[in-house]
Structure formats: C-alpha cells, structure tokens
Structure 1
Amino acid sequence: MAKIKTKRERVKFASDNVAGACPEVLDAILKANDGDSTPYGNDQISTELQDKFSEIFEKDVIVFPTASGTAANALALSTMTPSFGNIYCHKLSHINTDECGAPEFYTGGGKLIALQGVDGKITADELNQSIGGKGIVHHTQPSSVSITQVCETGEVYQIDEIKMISDVAHKHNLNMHMDGARFANALVSLDVTPAEMTWKAGIDVLSFGATKNGCLAAEAIIFFKKDLVGNIAFLMKRAGHLLSKMRFVSAQLDAYISNDVWLRNAKHANKMGKKLSEGLAHHSDIKLSYPTEANEVFAKFPRNMIEHLNSEGYKMNEDELDGKSTRLVAAWNTQDSDVDQLLEILKNSN
C-alpha cells in the first residue's frame, strides 16, 4: 500500500531542488569513496571527464567541475568579462535576480545590463540595440551575453533564437554564455544534440547544470573556446571552489552523463510537468501564464485555491515573475501519483 503523505511532507512542486539524488549518482559517490585518490581534481575520474564531455559535445572541451550553479555562472562569466565590462542578460535571469551579486563580485565589478525580452527570453534585436559605448572610456564596455536555458518562464530557447543572439554577440565581439541550470530538460524538449544547442549555435561557455536533475551537488563549467579558459583555475582556487576531494563532484557528473541517466531523468521530469500543466488547464479558474515546454509550470490561481493548497501542506511559490504567477516544478523523481494527488486536492478547493 502506498504511503499516505502528511501535509508536512508536501514540498513536491516547490522546486526541482527538493528532490534527492538519483540512485546512480549515490552509487557513484560510494564507489569513489573506496580507497585513496589524488586531490584537487587530479584524480582519474576528474581527468576522464574531459574526454567524456568532449564525446557528448562532439568537440574537444575543457571542463571544470563545481559544487553550485551560482559558482559555475559567476566563475564562467569572470573569464569573459573584465571588471569594467557589461554582461547582457534578461531582467528575470538568475544571475540578475537570484545570485546575490555573485557575477559582479567574481568579475570584480562587471555590470549586468538587464534586458526586457519577451516572455523570459532576450531577443537578438533588443540585444543589438542595447550594445553601445564601445571604446568610450566613460562607459562600461560590452563584454558578454548570458542566456538561461530553460529560461525563467519555463520556456526553451529555440535553436534559431540562440543562433541569432549569438550572431549579434559575436558581431560586436562579445562572448556567449549559457546558464544551463536545466540544460537536460531543454535538450530533450528540443530533441537536439548537446552540440546543436551549444557551440554549433554560437555558445562559447556553458554552465552545465546537474544538481536539479539528479545530482547531489554537481555542476560544470564547459569551455568550447579554449582561449577563454584564461585564469579560471586560479579564480576557482581563490573563490574556494577548487575542492580537495573533487573526485566526489566528478563522480556525480560521471554517473549523471553515463548510460543516458541525465536524459532519462529530464524526459521524465518534462513528462510530469506536461501532465501537471494539462491537468491545471482543465480548471476554468486557472490560467497558464506561459507554455509548458519543459518541467516548470507557471499559472495564475484564484486566491482560494492557493490558500487551500497551502492548508494541505503544499509550499506554493507565489510572487514569481510578474507577482501574479505561481510556479510549480516537476523533478526527476516526481510520480504520476504526485500529480494526481495535487489535481485531486484542487478539485476540492471550491
């Protein structure tokens, strides 16, 4: 008999961060714990990651594992943005709203230029119109562009959108960064290859997210342009992100990208997100705010429904984006029964 979840346990859908690590990742950590290993990323697992990621991306890449997405984003941007440089991003992007000034701190003062965009995504036209002041000593200098995939409204940048934004960036000699916190979710949504969604579309550096999709604490900075690597190793050490026992982070990434674990997890999360979205759409009082293209669902609920869900123990993320939409997120371990239970409770909210 399935366990009846108490109200206190219902943190499902608050975020995909509420999920634990998947079995393959946990097994890999235990295996990495057997015996001794060279520290500071010089272990065999970390070294072999370079070849494994290069195979996945169909290109020789340089990989630096990190323990958090904030570190991955901020350190990646610090390699391509000087202290007097601009980083163009969407106004809702994580680097602009949720990382406590980390990009500015790690770049030594780089300035975020927040773009309005459309439905959470920046556009090539707006970017092109916003870039200015190059060579003028009184202005911060255009240096880099950052896009989030999946973006902050749950929508996915299409390949042609990435290419057009990258073309504008490179036309102005700016570097392209992708915050791939939900990289796998976007990848399976588009049904393209990792290469097609990154360097073939003009991305220079990727923050490869894994924690939200089944890892314990593991991300990676992936360089497609070797000349951007620069002093990243020193920056990581100075920032406290060169872990002595890096093998445990690398082991997570190794298990995650092996045997299609990351793709299976993302496909399942997206499937559950779509099921939840379709269920909510059946309620005449609930309006979806944006198309559900991956595992995040944004909707506008009547106050009585939100209060009812809160009374049932759910943690409803209000004040998202426009202050009116509520975000629900499916994870790699979300079950059909979890979605069914939420939808059933909504039926009794009137």
Structure 2
Amino acid sequence: MQFLSDNAAAVHPTVWEALKAADSPDSPYDGDALSAALDERFAQVFDKPCTVLWTATGTAANCLALATMVQPHGAVVCHEDAHIEVDEGGAPGFFLHGAKLMLCEGAGAKLSPRAIRDMIDPIRNDVHQVQPHAISITQASEYGCSYRPAEVEAIAALASERGLGLHMDGARFANAVAFLDCAPAAAAGPVDALSFGFIKNGGLGAEAIVFFDQNLADVARYRRKRAGHLQSKGRFLAAQLHALLEGDVWLHNARHANAAAQEIAQACDGRLLYPVEANELFMRCTLAERETLRERGFGFYDWGEDAARFVTAWNTREEDALSLAKAIASL
C-alpha cells in the first residue's frame, strides 16, 4: 500500500488509449495536429487565449517558463521550500544561465505580498546588486496548501506594480482546483505562465507550459529546442494532455486523490503539520510509529526526524486509504 508519491502512480487508461491512437504518421516535433490543437483546448479550460508548449518533465516546464522572464543577471523570488530551490538539482541556475533564487519564508510554503516586499524592498536599484525579475509560486504548495484566488490576485498585483514576471508551478494544479472547487482560471489567477502538471495526475511523460503572454511563448520555443526538450514525436506528448483534459478526467482524478487524502486526514487527530488542501499529508510521527506503519505494509517518506509524508494519487484504492487511516488512529 504505497503512499510514497503520486509520481509513482499508474498511467491512466485513457492515456494509453490516446498513445495508441496517436501511433500513426504525422508531422514531426510540434507540427502535428494534436500539438497544434493544444492552444484551443487549453483556451477552453481557462476561458481565455493561451499558447501551450509540451515538455517531458516538471523541472523543464518550470525552468523553461522562468527562462523567458529572467535574465542571467536577475533573480526569481520564491519560497525557501519551493521545488525549484529544494528538488530540481540546480536546474534553474542551469536553464537561467546563473540567475539567482531569492528565498522567502511563509506558512505552508506559500508566499505573501508582505514576504515578497520584505525580500525585494531593501535591494538597491544599481548594478552592484542582483535585481528581481520574476516571482514563482506553487499551486498547490510543496506542503499541500492551496492559494485562494484572492491570494494569487494580490501577488499578481504586486508583480505588475514592480514590473516582475509571475510564474506558477502547477505540478499539483489539478488538486488545487479540485480543493478550491473553482474555475481553473481563478486558481491560476493572472499569471504570465503556468506549469500545468499532468504526470502526477495520470500522465505518462508529458507536462504543459501554458503561456498567457504570447511573447513569452515565442521565446520559449527557441529555449525548448536549445535545451534538448523539443521531442521528435511530439504528438505522443500532446496526446496525453488531450486525453486527460477530455471529459475533465484531470479533475476527476484530482478529486479522487483529494478525497483519499481527506479520509486519512480525519484519523490524524492533531498530528497534521499543515492543512490538507490537496493530496499530501504531513504528519507528526515518531520513528517507532513509522516502523509500525511500515511493518503493516504502508510505504511513505520520512519528513525530517519526527514526521512523515503521505501522498495519495488518482488510483489510490479506497480500502488502502481506509486501512492507513485505521492504522494511524491505532498508534
């Protein structure tokens, strides 16, 4: 009974079917019909024009998006626990040719306008100090906390006021939309670019970079090729995105994962470190208690010395979630 990561979840059956259907000759790279149809497909999701580029990994999606906004001498303002800081192996520095990450604090791994101002206001506007060029926020955050639409709007207003780009890491964007029960456009807010995650939500190997600024998309096409991420048979990546968007499979999958997380959360009885607002749970748990859970057949990650992280997925079985809930309650 695995709760290690939604990255390890099975591929959704509709994706396999879509991949088989795409296995016929078409134009290479992103010149195929499926890739060409992505802009209109995502415009329907967000109810506004956008330009969509596929890529194979979330790290590439984040870094290619940010590379369109940030010059090598600039910086990205992000949370100190942001994925681009903690879990991408220095990829931002590589893709952004040495640009800096400016790290802020914030409850639940979420940024606030005040935290951003506290970081950037003391910076002198001269060549001797690195200047911020963009802000990156994560929806849902690295601790499974979802930004409310008003929170995104406030950060977007600050970004606009200061002339900064705004990027959203949406590795678990579907889970945030499902939790907030709002339109995708409201959960994304007025960002310039969104890394829309699909792999954690039933995809095989495709993520979407959704640009709401056409000029940024034009730059990203060249950067994607230069970075080695323009795949020859792009129709297979586009097919995955279409399959999960069709009939709102992406939302159905996210709602299932969120519901499983809520089932487990009810048994945590004051142990939770953060509110459960997506499909991740962070729980106080001693070493002996973690050993007990593992002996009972549950897989999960340790989170520091006295905590554990559990992640549910689109295919988490209800009986497994209930079993974990009962096991936690009995500790």
TM-score by length of 1: 0.91
Alpha-carbon distance, 1:326 to partner: 1.2
Any stretches of 5+ residues in structure 2 without a counterpart?
A: none
Distance in structure 1 (CA, Å) of the matches to 2:106 and 2:306: 19
Structure 1 residues 40 and 30, CA, compared in 2 at 3 Å: closer, same or farther? Answer: same
Query: In structure 2, what is the equivalent of residue 270 of structure 1?
Result: 258
1:343 paired to 2:331: no
Could you tell me which of 144, 155, 160 is aligned with 2:150? Answer: 160
Could you tell me which of 282, 295, 307 is aligned with 1:325? Answer: 307
Task: Give the counterpart letter for 1:55 in structure 2.
Answer: Q
Could you tell me which of 300, 304, 316 is aligned with 1:316? Answer: 300
1:294 paired to 2:282: no
Could you tell me which of 229, 240, 257 is aligned with 2:217? Answer: 229
Query: In structure 1, what is the equivalent of residue 135 of structure 2?
Result: 145
Any stretches of 5+ residues in structure 1 without a counterpart?
A: 1-9
CA displacement 1:234-280 (0-9 Å, x = unmatched): 11111110000011010000001111100100011100010011123
Query: In structure 1, what is the equivalent of residue 162 of structure 2?
Result: 172
Query: In structure 2, what is the equivalent of residue 6 of structure 1?
Result: none
Contact 2:267 2:329 in 1 (8 A): no
Alpha-carbon distance, 1:129 to partner: 2.1
Structure 1 residues 300 and 32, CA, compared in 2 at 3 Å: closer, same or farther? Answer: same
Distance in structure 2 (CA, Å) of the matches to 1:37 and 1:312: 50
Partner SS, residue 287 of structure 1: coil
Q: Over the residues paired in the alignment, what is the CA RMSD in angstroms?
A: 1.5
Alpha-carbon distance, 1:123 to partner: 1.1
After TM superposition, the structure 1 = structure 2 runs for residues 178-197 of structure 1, keeping only pairs within 5 Å, are 178-197=168-187
Partner SS, residue 80 of structure 1: coil
Query: In structure 1, what is the equivalent of residue 288 of structure 2?
Result: 304
After TM superposition, the structure 1 = structure 2 runs for residues 66-77 of structure 1, keeping only pairs within 5 Å, are 66-77=55-66
Query: In structure 2, what is the equivalent of residue 94 of structure 1?
Result: 83
Query: In structure 1, what is the equivalent of residue 34 of structure 2?
Result: 45
Distance in structure 1 (CA, Å) of the matches to 2:328 and 2:115: 40
Contact 1:309 1:316 in 2 (8 A): no
Alpha-carbon distance, 1:58 to partner: 1.0
Distance in structure 1 (CA, Å) of the matches to 2:251 and 2:217: 27
Distance in structure 2 (CA, Å) of the matches to 1:159 and 1:149: 11
% same residue? 41
Could you tell me which of 204, 207, 225 is aligned with 2:192? Answer: 204
Task: Give the counterpart letter for 2:251 in structure 1.
Answer: L
Structure 1 residues 134 and 29, CA, compared in 2 at 3 Å: closer, same or farther? Answer: farther
Partner SS, residue 268 of structure 2: helix
Distance in structure 1 (CA, Å) of the matches to 2:6 and 2:73: 35
Query: In structure 1, what is the equivalent of residue 227 of structure 2?
Result: 239
Task: Give the counterpart letter for 1:16 in structure 2.
Answer: D
Structure 1 residues 324 and 162, CA, compared in 2 at 3 Å: closer, same or farther? Answer: farther
Task: Give the counterpart letter for 2:77 in structure 1.
Answer: Y
Query: In structure 1, what is the equivalent of residue 111 of structure 2?
Result: 122
CA displacement 1:322-348 (0-9 Å, x = unmatched): x53311011000111111222344466
Alpha-carbon distance, 1:181 to partner: 0.2
Query: In structure 2, what is the equivalent of residue 5 of structure 1?
Result: none
After TM superposition, the structure 1 = structure 2 runs for residues 26-45 of structure 1, keeping only pairs within 5 Å, are 26-33=16-23, 35-45=24-34
Partner SS, residue 37 of structure 2: helix
Partner SS, residue 283 of structure 2: strand
Number of aligned residue pairs: give it: 330
Distance in structure 2 (CA, Å) of the matches to 1:266 and 1:235: 31
Distance in structure 1 (CA, Å) of the matches to 2:306 and 2:116: 27
Partner SS, residue 82 of structure 1: coil
Contact 1:79 1:230 in 2 (8 A): no
